[in-house]
Amino acid sequence: MKRTLIRPDLARFPAALRPLMEGASLYDSSSSAAAEVIYVERDDDYYLKSAAVGALKREAELTRFFHEKRLGTEVLCYLSDEKDWLLTRRVAGEDCTHADYLAEPKRLCDLTANLLRALHETPYDGCPVPDRTADYLTSAEEGYRMGKYDASLFPDNWGYASAEDAIGVVRRDGHLLRTDTLLHGDYCLPNVMLDGWRFSGFIDLGNGGVGDRHIDLFWGAWSLFFNLKTDAYRDRFFDAYGRDKIEPDLLRVVAAAEVFG
């Protein structure tokens, strides 16, 4: 996880958060342009994320829900004024892109598959996002209208030769996606925290909710391909998760939706 020492002007942060940051070592740990993430190092360590107004509301709600299930960190503060601010406790350990974990790809593949199966068997009553599937399909349509199309997610592109080919599958078969499983929503190696190969929590939960398990399965397999620089672990990941719960036709529907960002 990237950390670059910074010395920001504390006046740009909400007054309620400044006492926590005064005297602490602060590091930029951002991974995208959509949000700034600051690692706050002191006796107890924290992460402070900021983004556009309203952008972190769902993530705050889902992180609280996952924390109640002992699957995520504690939300200490969520503020929304000119920007959104989300303060959480640091999850112990390192994420799954750490060199120690990548050095044992078979073990990593099997562990992340088993963790995902356990997540998907977690009761979801009371989840603050009860229908992620509807939002998911709407996002695919919006991505298509905006001209987004990424044909490089997997080496074989799941067989989609064009944006029209992919959106046709979404429109024809999108109704087959279920809303019956608690999802991470962005199940990739950087979002799974381990402490010496022991699971310590999920992070970055803003895309989660109750939806179709094949969304997480798609991204779990993709992340192994992306981070290990080989697609050799896709089948192993699905085998470790359990083929009894995987429908290849639904994976193809998800792949069609995902090419639209």
Q: What is the pLDDT of residues 62-119, one digit of tens each?
A: 999 999 999 999 999 999 988 999 999 999 999 999 999 999 999 999 999 999 999 9
Report the pLDDT averaged over residues 208-228: 97
With b for 16 or more beta-carbon neighbours within 10 A and e for fewer, the 172-197 pattern comes to eebeebebebbbbbbbbbbbbbbeee
User: Can you tell me the distance from the alpha carbon of 115 to that of 221, in angstroms, rounded to the nearest whole number?
Assistant: 13
User: Can you tell me the distance from the alpha carbon of 110 to that of 256, in angstroms, rounded to the nearest whole number?
Assistant: 26
- Percent of the chain having pLDDT more than 70? 98
pLDDT at 130 over 80: yes
The segment(s) of the chain belonging to CATH 3.30.200.20 are 4-89
Contact by Cβ (8 Å): 201, 47 = no
From the list 84, 95, 186, 216, the catalytic residue is 186
pLDDT of residue 152: 78
- Percent of the chain having pLDDT more than 90? 85
CA distances (Å), 148 to each of 151, 177, 220, in order? 10, 22, 22
The residue type at 252 = R
Report the pLDDT averaged over residues 34-57: 93
User: Can you tell me the distance from the alpha carbon of 55 to that of 46, in angstroms, rounded to the nearest whole number?
Assistant: 20
Is 165 known to be catalytic? no
User: Can you tell me the distance from the alpha carbon of 139 to that of 202, in angstroms, rounded to the nearest whole number?
Assistant: 23
pTM for the whole structure = 0.93
User: Can you tell me the distance from the alpha carbon of 110 to that of 238, in angstroms, rounded to the nearest whole number?
Assistant: 9
The residue type at 125 = D
pLDDT at 158 over 80: no
pLDDT of residue 261: 83
CA geometry: angle 124, 125, 128, nearest 5 deg: 80
Q: Hey, what CATH topology would domain 4-89 get?
A: Phosphorylase Kinase; domain 1 (3.30.200)
pLDDT at 55 over 70: yes
Chain-centre distance for alpha carbon 147: 24
Mean pLDDT rounded to a whole number for the chain: 94
Task: List, edge to edge, every strand of the sheet that includes 94-95.
Answer: 94-95, 192-195, 198-202
pLDDT of residue 188: 97
Q: Hey, what CATH topology would domain 94-258 get?
A: Aminoglycoside 3'-phosphotransferase; Chain: A, domain 2 (3.90.1200)
Report the pLDDT averaged over residues 201-209: 97
Q: Strand, coil or helix: what is 126?
A: coil
pLDDT of residue 161: 82
CA distances (Å), 171 to each of 89, 131, 140, 146, 207, in order? 41, 18, 10, 16, 21
pLDDT at 157 over 70: no
Nearest Cα neighbor of 132 from 193, 80, 205, 72 is 205
CA distances (Å), 154 to each of 141, 165, 201, 219, 226, in order? 21, 16, 27, 11, 9
Structure token digits, residue 50 = 């900021």
pLDDT of residue 169: 96
The segment(s) of the chain belonging to CATH 3.90.1200.10 are 94-258
User: Can you tell me the distance from the alpha carbon of 61 to that of 46, in angstroms, rounded to the nearest whole number?
Assistant: 18
